[in-house]
Amino acid sequence: MIGIDIEEIDRFNSWSDKEFLRIMSLKELEYAKSRKNPPEHLCGFYCVREALVKALNKNDIVFNKIETDHEKSGKPYLVENEYLKEIMKICGVKQIEISISHSKNYAVALVLARK
Ligand SMILES: CC(C)(COP(=O)(O)OP(=O)(O)OC[C@H]1O[C@@H](n2cnc3c(N)ncnc32)[C@H](O)[C@@H]1OP(=O)(O)O)[C@@H](O)C(=O)NCCC(=O)NCCS
């Protein structure tokens, strides 16, 4: 199962921390803030969630219970917390892989879910 999403980074330029924390984790916010251009990473993390909805064909996913983290190499993955484990069980999914990219104006994310 596959899902993809693309968003304009500009859309996130004016968001407050409080608004970001309604849809993502503190760790993601801190990661983005540690980078040169935080909005591109925040936009990417948002795209991951929309792409996950598409991959799983499940539109009631609670965005702030999902968390993206990174391997030492920088490769992103979804943290398999209790919430994600439950969603994966409901959808019959054993493994989820994600990929993120950004350009000047857009971020894109791809989610691949395997049964
Ligand atoms: C990892 C790499 C491909 C990222 O590409 P980029 O064009 O700089 O950046 P993009 O916007 O497309 O991608 C950034 C995203 O890639 C992901 N990423 C970073 N390192 C990654 C890795 N090792 N594997 C998979 N994904 C990775 C991250 O999700 C990152 O976004 P995030 O930090 O917001 O989560 C790039 O930095 C790299 O290492 N390229 C290899 C360079 C190389 O070998 N050059 C030799 C030329 S001779």
Tens of pLDDT along 64-107?
Answer: 999 999 999 999 999 999 999 999 999 999 999 999 999 999 99
The full set of domain ranges for the chain reads 2-114
110 within ligand 1 shell (Cβ under 6 A): no
CATH of 2-114, one of 3.90.470.20, 3.40.50.2300, 1.10.510.10, 3.40.190.10: 3.90.470.20
Query: What is the C-alpha radius of gyration for the chain, rounded to an integer number of angstroms?
Result: 13
pLDDT of 82 reads: 98
Compute the average pLDDT of residues 6-17: 96
Q: Which residues, listed in sequence order, are joined to residue 100 by a DSSP beta bridge? A: 109
Compute the average pLDDT of residues 32-60: 97
101 within ligand 1 shell (Cβ under 6 A): yes
pTM: 0.94
What is the rounded distance in angstroms from the CA atom of residue 85 to the CA atom of residue 75?
Answer: 20
| Angle in degrees, 0-180, between the axes of helices 38-56 and 26-33, rounded to the nearest 10 | 140
pLDDT of 14 reads: 93
